[in-house]
A and B are shown apart, each in its own frame.
Chain A
Amino acid sequence: MEGIWYVIGFAVAGVSFVFLTIGASWLISHRTKGSPLKGLPYESGIPTYGDTHGRFGVSYYIYALLFVAFDIEVVFIFLWALVVRDPIPGVLASMGIFIAVLLLGLAYAWRKGVLTWR
């Protein structure tokens, strides 16, 4: 029952962190003192232009997806490497199957033309 206080404390700390940082930046920022340019969210010396809702290409997201797949693979290979020295039959084969299935995903992406930059 005592453990619940850790949960509550953690929740309070998490929520107050958000408000503390926003409040602190509100307190110590020098909002409209001096040049109005200094009050802009991105201060670079010249007035910002354009819409904040501008569109920009995210065609790299598929590379990111492929990266994640192989990133997770490393997590599994690391654990596998710890036990691979034990003489359990099929240890090598199981990792081979796992990597083969992942590579098939890469082949699929390749075949679908994902790897060509457009």
Chain B
Amino acid sequence: MTGQATMATMVTDVLPEIVLVAGGVLVLLYALLAPRRLQGGAAVVAMLVAVAALTVALAMLPGTELVTFFGTYARDRTALWAKIIVLAATVAVIGLSAPWFRRDPRHGEYYTLLLFSSLGAILLAGATDLKELVVAMLLSSATGFVLSAYHRRSSQAAEAAIKYYLIGALANSAMLFGVALLFGLAGSTTLGGLAAGLPSDGGLALVIGVGLVVVGLAFKIGAVPAHAWVPDVAQGAPAPVAAFVTTVPKVGGFIFLARFVIALPPDAAGWQPLVAVLAAATMTLGNLACLWQDDLRRLLGWSAVSQTGYGLMAVVALGSSDLAVPALLFFLLAYVLGNLAAFGVVVELRGRTALADVAGIGERRPALTAALAISFLSFIGVPPLNGFVAKLLLFLVAIQVGYAWLAVAAAVNTVVSIFYYVRVLAPAYFGRPAGTVAVLGRPAASATFAAAAAVVVTGVAAEPFVAAFAAAGLVIR
């Protein structure tokens, strides 16, 4: 705790956040003043802002790890890596969005929402206070709802957004109840205060409080029991928004969940079996729903659910295994890059999403199909792609902490998942092409190829990343 720190030194701990706030306001000003034909310039401004925040976050990596703003906000390397992943993903999504929204005459403020939404995810990743959690969840969710409904004349987008909103409202209010219960039990809302003040025999109230907060976070990361919005948003929202909403908020949600569970008294709330059961249910449900999916975007949505299940294995191991934090961070890196590449292909295909539409694209668009294949093979966990290293670490930590059954469940699920990924890839390569394959344009293609290349590079050269993530601490006080 930095009780004596002055305001000025504390402000330097949240520089990327300040850049994002100021940048978001700047983009809004631009959108307000620029004429309609120049609205696309907002993408350039937003891109510069995201890159600036990314640079600041990278520069902050060697600093000391501490909790700032009177115990409410962590400045540790886990939070910084989360910021870097979030901001890199935001840059890619801006690249995907620029050609997608080109014909929309009033889309300048879309980028403000995008920047504020990634700020919400970043705040989640750094929060060490339950009130901070509530604010960050609101910022990240409210912007997500609006982004999903950005095509407001599309009934599909409206349906996706209203489902997202209703499930989100339910989960977030459940979380508020949980926060209130935990505050009552511990007498403090900071995670440090919870760790010190929660009675280890908190009984039913502690179990309910922890359960309700976990439900709120499950909504954010798309895990059972609040996962139902993911496939709908993946299918109905504008494709670049689907790429954003299924990746960026998840990073923040996972990191806060990690901080939250290590603040709980060990064995008190039974959180470890709880998270393990959620993990198994999430990966199995996501996989089963994928099996006969004929819509590529819906398939990606369900596959995002099942990937969340794998990632929760790292959360189970937190506090008992040194590898848990690097496993979680590497999983997030692999998942975000893979999902961006896959959704990037959908964007580049102008949002065409039926399985029949991808038949034979391997012949017409070899590079694009390669990007799709790379991301799918990475989801399965084929070496040398980064998904392999992520799964290896996740299985390792699950077995390390005595949850071998969870690793077995994940392995079975992985084998099952090969079926539906191949069900897309086989027709893409061996199917008969139906006419020409129209694509969207250069910015979207660049973002897609960059994400796919990153999947390969971070898989082949995983060592330095794992080493860097292993040096990341998860501080709560």
Let me know if A108 and B32 touch, CB within 8 A.
yes
Q: Interface digits, B160-201 against A, CB 8 Å rule (1 contact, 0 not)?
A: 000000000000000000000100100000000000000000
A88 partner, pick from B7, B32, B109, B184, beta carbons under 8 A: B7
B29 pairs with A90, CB closer than 8 A: no
How far, in angstroms, from A88 to B7 measured CA to CA in the complex? 9
CB distance from A91 to the nearest CB of B (A): 9
Docked CA distance A88–B184 (Å): 32
Which of A3, A89, A90, A104 makes the CB contact (< 8 A) with B205?
A3
Contact of B25 among A1, A89, A104 (CB under 8 A): A104
Q: Give how many A residues have a beta carbon under 8 Å from the other chain's beta carbons.
A: 12
In angstroms, Cα B184 to Cα A110, docked, is: 43
Q: In the complex the two chains form, is B25's CB within 8 Å of A7's CB?
A: no
What is the interface size of chain B, counting residues whose CB is below 8 A from a CB of the partner?
A: 11
CB of B29 within 8 A of CB of A104, answer yes
Smallest distance from the beta carbon of B110 to chain A beta carbons, Å? 13
Chain B residue with minimal CB distance to A3? B205
Any chain A CB within 8 A of the CB of B62?
no
| B interface: dominant SS | helix
Known: A88-B7, A89-B7. Contact between A1 and B32, CB under 8 A? Answer: no
Q: Which residue of A lies closest to B11 (CB)?
A: A90
Q: How near does chain B come to A89, taking the closest CB pair, in angstroms?
A: 7
CB-CB < 8 A to B29: which residues of A?
A: 104
Q: Which of B28, B32, B205 contacts A4 (CB 8 A)?
A: B205
- A1-33 CB contacts (< 8 Å) to partner B: 1, 3-4, 7
Which residues of chain A from 81 to 104 have a CB within 8 Å of any chain B CB? 88-90, 101, 104
Roughly how many angstroms separate A3 CA and B204 CA in the complex, as a whole number? 10
**Is A104 a contact of B28 with CB atoms below 8 Å?**
yes
B184-224, CB under 8 A of A: which get 1 and which 0?
10000000000000000001110000000000000000000
Q: Contacts A3-B184, A88-B7, A89-B7 given: A107-B205 contact, CB under 8 Å?
A: no
Bound-complex Cα distance A1 to B208 (A): 13
Q: Do A108 and B28 touch (CB < 8 A)?
A: yes
Chain B, residue nearest A8 (CB): B204
Chain B nearest CB, measured from A104 CB (Å): 6
A4 to B205, CA, bound (A): 7
> Given contacts A4-B204, A89-B7, are A111 and B32 in contact (CB under 8 A)?
yes
Distance in angstroms between the alpha carbons of A4 and B25 in the assembled complex: 46
Shortest CB-to-CB span from A76 to chain B, Å, is: 13
Instruction: Report chain B residues within 8 Å CB of A4.
Output: 203-205
Chain A residue contacts of B25, Cβ below 8 A: 101, 104
CB distance from A114 to the nearest CB of B (A): 13
B32 in contact with A107 (CB, 8 Å): yes
Cα–Cα, bound, A88→B6 (Å) = 10
Distance in Å from the Cβ of B380 to the closest Cβ of chain A?
Answer: 46
Q: Which chain A residues lie closer than 8 Å to B181 at the CB level?
A: 7
Complex: how many Å from CA A108 to CA B7?
A: 31
- What residues of chain B lie closer than 8 Å to A111, measured between beta carbons? 32
> What's the least CB distance linking B352 to chain A, in Å?
33
A32 to chain B, nearest CB (A): 39
Within the assembled complex, what's the spacing in Å between the Cα atoms of A59 and B141?
A: 25
A3 to B184: give the CA distance in the assembly, Å: 10
B204: chain A residues at CB < 8 Å are 1, 4
Assembly CA distance A108 to B32 (angstroms):
7
Which residues in B have their C-beta under 8 angstroms from that of A7? 181, 205
Chain B contacts of A3 at CB under 8 A? 184, 205
Report whether A1 and B7 are in contact in the complex, using a CB–CB cutoff of 8 Å: no
**Chain A, Cβ-Cβ closest to B21:** A101
Alpha-carbon distance A37/B203, docked complex (angstroms)? 56
B28/A1 in contact, CB under 8 A: no
3 smallest A-B Cβ distances: which pairs? A1-B203, A111-B32, A4-B205
Q: List 21 A-B contacts (CB under 8 A).
A: A1-B203, A1-B204, A3-B184, A3-B205, A4-B203, A4-B204, A4-B205, A7-B181, A7-B205, A88-B7, A89-B7, A90-B7, A101-B25, A104-B25, A104-B28, A104-B29, A107-B32, A108-B28, A108-B32, A108-B109, A111-B32
Partner-A contacts on B (CB < 8 A):
7, 25, 28-29, 32, 109, 181, 184, 203-205
Q: Which residues on A are within 8 Å of B, measured CB to CB?
A: 1, 3-4, 7, 88-90, 101, 104, 107-108, 111
| Further pairs besides A1-B204, A4-B204, A107-B32: 17, Cβ < 8 Å | A1-B203, A3-B184, A3-B205, A4-B203, A4-B205, A7-B181, A88-B7, A89-B7, A90-B7, A101-B25, A104-B25, A104-B28, A104-B29, A108-B28, A108-B32, A108-B109, A111-B32
